[in-house]
Structure 1
């Protein structure tokens, strides 16, 4: 419930009260004894969804923009007349005026925004290098990215170009600053003993997760943008939703910066692509939701211009997402293909080994080295097999080549099989006395 207070300009008292009577709103009128220009103040309760239509009619009745209109959020309202008022104004979304105010408040001053964003990037970069999901989530609580994302969309919908430009500028400059901060931090850490020499950051799971983005990442961004817009419209949970938006943007930006610092262009590009895709998805989902909820500019004459601008912006965003999604699609497809091959290769070798039924010989493990980049470059999968053989049994000299031929025929692609043998004595309790490993592998086909 909202309590609205309006200073009535001189000469409009009767029209204002008639408007409120027409809406069936209960009100109280107080004579104005302050500075001139107003003859009374009226205050009345109204549900959040009723603020916008009532204020629109009050403006037509003569309440100008230079008058004072205050909308207060109430803690509790005790009245038997409340249910009738709620039925008169169904709906849950807040008014256009409240939306504008909240969007403006969510985008803090430049110094505050960049200070918190850079601190968030430092914490997120540390979390990535430590492979700590908890640290990364903690960094997202600090990141102030929800405000610019929401304010850019609200400014577009309500035809406030200044708010739109500022929201876009804060997002773009802020994320570029995050990438630079992570790059500088990564370079400085390499000059210390805090990072082991020769560290391959691609082996860190939290970083690897963001260097192989797929379509699920796009769903995260779309969901975050919708949740952010919905939380503002309904007036609940905006701080926690801001964490989801930050998760979609800051860790990939930090990953891109680390890729620059460690001289890994693939990591830098993958992180940057994920940042751009997520940024566009968050903004387009918020734009669509605000427009679909019925928010329109105050000036009716600007409606056509806003609609044209909105459509063109959405088309550009969707086209950019579609182009960048080629990368996401390639990663999704190659990841599926490589993981499917790994699973099928393990199952095939396990089946062949069980069918052979060699007494005393154990299949210890089967691992497959086959990354998405290998599929794109046409590199052969590398299948590593570890077999336990009793000390008194001869090792088949051509086992690796036989399995190579079988897998090649099964999957219709060249593979490299590398077989390692563990010499052991096998007791009834299956206790292994491990000895040096002997390895054999076929010569790769030219």
Structure 2
């Protein structure tokens, strides 16, 4: 709920009362006795969906010229009369249908302006979130990567830029765009610095392309675009409703922070392919978030308060949306290549699985290793664990895989003999010692077993 406080200027009292009566809202009014240019103070508890219409009507009679209206959140109202009025007046469904269940234009502008600027907290939380995400990438831990998103503040500028475009607020738009790119630069620099520290101390020779979480950002599929678009829509709707912006901000951070951290890791380890691939994903995601939030706000019906500004805003929105969409389509061609490559690799793994199942050995597992390039991953090694099989199984499999898939890969066959060995505890009861001395399975060495055979082709 919202609470309007109106300082009514002299000469506007009757007009304000008329507006509130026609809106059929409950209010209470008191005379203003400070001797200034105000006739009365009015307090109005109302629903968020009703605020914009009330503000427009109050603006139409000129209250804002010499008076003012403040809007604040109202936690609860203890009043049977107010509750009856809420249920007996226009239904909530009718109100929400007219306003799309959104907050007022002025409230949206205020919320966007609050989260748009670059502040010390914005920089600090971006650095912390990126460092945690970078550590999660190196640990190959999805839980750590997702957990780092909780403190990422990138939702503010990403959505505020669209608010500035929709409401014809050029200052808000420019501030938000600068904050977006500043935040991404801070994230990349933080990841590069942290990655360089890790390389110099703990992991000097790590191949980051072999880390699953990193490889996902180097070779993303088309579904990455869906994540970014969904995050943009959710972010815009959270800002225009009572949904927690911080909670939805995790979705936007997921689309931006891990790819930016991957760019930093690529820089730290001198991997140009990783840095370029992840940088393209960052650009795709940030542009997609902006175009999705822009479209969402426009569809929700937000417009500037003056008709002339609305015409200007419409032209700006169309122009910016067209540029964003064109850039997303051009950059997304890389995602199309990656998606085709992912499909081909899945087919390769399925075919190899069929081939290995046709051998005379019992197959325990089949593992695949890939060589990562710009937008593409190519299979390099197939490792097969079997029980039994002949020494030339690896060569036979390699030839059959090449014939069926047109892929020349290294095949490693690890043969397990299937024997079970047992080693008894040395510390035991006297009864166990007697049993051990008389047991026919006891061996002098204490352990029985064999090493597996390994074949490579």
TM class by shorter chain equals 0.7 to 0.9
Mark the runs of 5 or more structure 2 residues left unpaired by the alignment.
421-447
Give the 3-state SS of the residue equivalent to 2:153 in structure 1: coil
Q: Quick one: which of 87, 109, 121 aligns to 2:91?
A: 87
Q: Do the aligned partners of residues 438 and 15 (structure 1) sit closer, same or farther apart at CA in structure 2, a change above 3 Å counting?
A: closer
Equivalent in the alignment of 2:404: 410
Deviations 1:253-305 (CA, angstroms, capped at 9, x unpaired): 11110110001111111221121111111111111111111111122211111
Corresponding residue number in structure 2 for 1:221: 228
Given the alignment of the two structures, is residue 336 of structure 1 paired with residue 351 of structure 2, yes or no?
no
CA gap 1:410/1:25 in 2 versus in 1, 3 angstroms:
same
1:41-91 deviation line (CA, Å, top 9, x unaligned):
222232211111121111111212552101132222332112134528611
Is the contact between residue 364 and residue 387 of structure 1 (CA under 8 Å) also seen in structure 2?
yes
After superposition, the Cα gap between the structure-2 partners of 1:421 and 1:30, relative to the gap in structure 1 and judged at 3 Å, is closer
Aligned pair in 2 of structure 1 residues 325, 106: CA closer, same or farther (>3 Å)? same
Per-residue CA distance 1:318-359 (angstroms, 9 max, x = gap): 111111111111111101101211121121231x325xxxxx
1:230 to 229, 237, 248: 237
Give 1:240's aligned residue: 247
In 2: Cα distance, 1:374 partner to 1:2 partner: 52
Asked if 2 retains the 8 angstrom alpha-carbon contact of 1:26 and 1:44, the reply is yes
Match of 1:200 in 2: 207
- Partner of 1:357 in structure 2? none
Partner of 2:20: 20
What does the per-residue CA deviation read over 1:88-112, in whole Å, with 9 as the maximum and x for residues that have no partner? Answer: 8611211111111111222355222
Decide whether the 8 Å contact of 1:374 with 1:380 is kept in 2.
no
Kindly tell me: are residues 401 and 84 of structure 1, through their superposed partners in 2, closer, same or farther at Cα, counting changes over 3 Å?
Answer: same
Q: Secondary structure at the match of 1:29?
A: strand
Q: Determine the C-alpha separation between the residues in 1 that align with 2:230 and 2:274.
A: 25
**Mapped pair 1:118 → 2:127:** yes
Q: Structure 1 pair 383/136, CA: closer, same or farther in 2 (3 Å)? A: closer
Measured at CA, do residues 381 and 131 of structure 1 come closer, stay the same or move farther in structure 2, by a change above 3 Å? closer
The residue number in structure 1 matching 2:427 is none
> Aligned equivalents of 1:424 and 1:98: distance in 2?
72
Q: Secondary structure at the match of 2:95?
A: coil
Q: Tell me by how many angstroms 1:307 deviates.
A: 0.7
Deviation at 1:422, TM superposition (A): 4.1
Partner of 1:70, secondary structure, is strand
CA distance in 1, matches of 2:21, 2:334: 59
CA distance in 1, matches of 2:454, 2:62: 93
CA RMSD of aligned residues (A): 2.9
Q: Does 2:56 correspond to 1:56? A: yes
Tell me, yes or no, if the aligned pair for 1:149 and 1:167 is still in contact at 8 Å.
yes
Q: In 2, are the aligned partners of 1:423 and 1:437 still within 8 Å (CA)?
A: yes
Indicate yes or no: 2:359 matched with 1:353: yes
Q: CA deviation at 1:382?
A: 4.7
**Corresponding residue SS for 1:81:** helix
Give the TM-score taking structure 1 as reference length: 0.86
Match of residue 358 from structure 1: none
Of 368-377 and 46-55, deviating more is 368-377
Deviation at 1:133, TM superposition (A): 3.0
Structure 2 residue aligned with 1:278? 285
Equivalent residue number for residue 10 of structure 1: 10
1:346–1:367 contact (8 Å) kept in structure 2: no
SS of equivalent residue, structure 2 residue 33: coil
The 4+ residue runs of structure 1 with deviation greater than 6 A are none
1:318 to 289, 308, 325: 325
3-state DSSP of counterpart to 1:214:
coil
Q: Give, in whole Å, the separation in 2 of the partners of 1:236 and 1:222.
A: 18
| Residues 218, 374 of structure 2: 8 Å contact kept | no
* 1:371-392 deviation line (CA, Å, top 9, x unaligned): 5649969x786545555558xx
Once the 2 structures are TM-superposed, how far is the Cα of residue 250 of structure 1 from its aligned partner?
1.0
Determine whether 1:300 maps to 2:293.
no
SS of 1:179's partner is: helix
Q: 1:409 to 1:197 in 2, by over 3 A?
A: closer
CA distance in 2, matches of 1:417, 1:199: 22
Map of 1:46 onto structure 2 = 46
